[in-house]
Amino acid sequence: MNSFDKLIADARETAALAQIAGRLGWDQETMMPRGAARQRGAEMAAMESVLHARRSAPQVGEWLETAKAPDAAGRAQLREIRRAYARATRVPADLAKRIAQVTSEAQGKWAAARAAEDVAAFLPVLQEVVVLKREEGAALAAGGDLYDAMLQDYEPGTTAEQIGALFDAMRPRLVNLRAAVLDRPMPAGVSGSFDEATQMRLSQELATTFGYDLSRGRVDKAVHPFSSGSGDDVRITTRTSATDPFNCLYSTIHEVGHAAYEQGIDPAYALTPLGQGVSMGVHESQSRIYENQIGRGRAFTGWLYGRMRDLFGDFGISDADAFFAAVNRVQNGYIRTEADEVQYNLHIMLRFDLERALMAGDLQVSDLEAAWNDRFAADFGYAVDRPSNGCLQDVHWSVGLFGYFPTYALGNVYAGCLFQALREAVPDLDARLAQGDTSSATTWLRENVQRHGGLILPRDLIRQASGVEPSEQPLLAYLDDKFGALYGL
């Protein structure tokens, strides 16, 4: 075998082990006995240590020096192996270990501080995390921009400048749209109690409706909805609330978007570095277009309204138009994860600007809460009432996830570009969605996005699939149209 073939054989084994580590994570959230937590920690640490040793093996570095890729896919494989190798070798082992320890401790302190509404109890350990992550970022950047280096873990090939330009263009338009919408009367919501077993059955039906292959996946309940795994074993979770069926149903559709991406990748890439979604942003573009552009669109909600009436009887919504308005209600709120399409990206931009400033050293941890609250008041027009509704609401920073937040909004932007192209490619899209037939949409997404796996870098992929340079314009036009019509703007 030549060095390229050796690298691929080695990477296949590493990819298989990474799948196992992912499945352990799924098990932990769904099946693990509660008394097994400490032991599971040791098992995960052993697995991470194996993965790190493989990714940083000197032999991989030697093979990379002489490996010649036979084709474009091979070059992309090398690109991914090289990135993983650089990531694993640039960060000193001591620093990686220290980050693992401190973030583990910080996550506990964050949860306690959030419960106690006590920002001061969290800041010292957050300070430690920030110092360590900046050190890690500097090691990864190797002279380049620290935050850009961090972004590569989540959004390879994308810079903070590119993201910042998108966000800066979006922000004033979203602030205005939000204010205009909230100035109008709020549509009615659903009322009554919704049998949770029936929600789960409808969940499975929706998963299949959106093309999720249950012979290569499964749906379970968990505290937080997520999708896990690649290729032939991609599992999702959802949750139920007796009074809010949309939580379960739209969580499921969202996770099916992630799962369909992983299930839709060319099987030739299975258990290789290309055998998974290329970035968090592109991943989120799939989950969001399934959930929002398709799942919350007027055509599909018409079908869903009928199914829900069949299963739940009367739930206080008189017709499909009122149902469409109910699933797209825009309301004041502090919490990112509960935000609607109009406001969600504003939550992200706030975090992006703050974490970028923290990493650049332009914002001190001690000033974080004030900066958060100022920015929130500026964009949302009212004050944060308590830390759990403000800078303590998300787990991300406590566990060292800097550079992750912007991918959520990037996903929305990409979903906007893709949906514009999808509409052009499938002229009768609405007629099909109105029948509960998503196949033309999901097939188009599989062909144009999902099947490529890690082959094409995010911005190139979106440009190729949508035919336009990635831009905030399609998303903003879509939001203006949809919410303009819904709220009579």
Catalytically annotated residues? 255
Check residue 218 for interaction with a second copy (CB under 8 A).
yes
| Binders in 71-110 for a second copy, by CB under 8 A | none
- Asked whether position 329 contacts a second copy by CB under 8 A, the answer is no
Binder to a second copy among 2, 49, 176, 241 (CB under 8 A)? 49
Name the minimum Å distance from CB 295 to a second copy.
Answer: 23
Question: Looking at 55, 114, 171, 235, which residue binds a second copy (CB under 8 A)?
Answer: 235
**Nearest one of 136, 162, 164, 168 to 150, comparing CA atoms:** 136
Q: How far apart are CA 305 and CA 322, in angstroms?
A: 10
> In terms of CB distance, is 47 or 468 closer to a second copy?
47
- Identify the residue among 4, 8, 11, 19 touching a second copy (CB under 8 A): 19
Least distance to a second copy from the beta carbon of 252, Å?
Answer: 16
Whole-Å CA distances, 205 to 38, 210, 226? 37, 9, 18
What binding mask, one character per residue, do residues 259-278 give for a second copy by CB under 8 A, x or -?
A: -----------xx-------
Tell whether residue 36 is a contact of a second copy (CB under 8 A): yes
When asked if residue 216 is in the footprint of a second copy (CB under 8 A), the reply is: yes
Q: What does each C-alpha distance from 336 to 51, 66, 86, 339, 437 come to in angstroms?
A: 33, 47, 33, 5, 30
User: Considering beta carbons, is residue 275 or 390 the nearer one to a second copy?
Assistant: 275
Q: Which of 27, 29, 195, 321 binds a second copy (CB under 8 A)?
A: 27
Interface pick for a second copy out of 33, 143, 427, 488 (rule CB under 8 A): 33
- Sole binder of a second copy in the list 25, 47, 98, 374 (CB under 8 A): 47
**Using CB under 8 A, which residues numbered 186 to 215 contact a second copy?**
213-215
Our finding on whether 16 is near a second copy (CB under 8 A) is yes
Nearer to a second copy, 236 or 462 (CB): 236
Among 39, 66, 332, 435, binds a second copy (CB under 8 A): 39
Q: Which stretch binds a second copy (CB under 8 A): 40-48, 102-110, 178-186, 414-422?
A: 40-48
- Closest approach of Cβ 18 to a second copy, in Å? 10
Size of the site for a second copy (CB under 8 A): 37
- For a second copy, which is the closer residue by CB, 50 or 468? 50
Which stretch in 24-32, 69-77, 137-145, 459-467 sits in contact with a second copy by CB under 8 A?
A: 24-32
Structure tokens at 406: 């912007």
CB of 197 to a second copy, least distance (A): 14
Which positions touch a second copy (CB under 8 A)?
12-13, 16-17, 19-20, 23-24, 27, 31-36, 38-40, 42-43, 45-47, 49-50, 213-218, 231-233, 235, 270-271
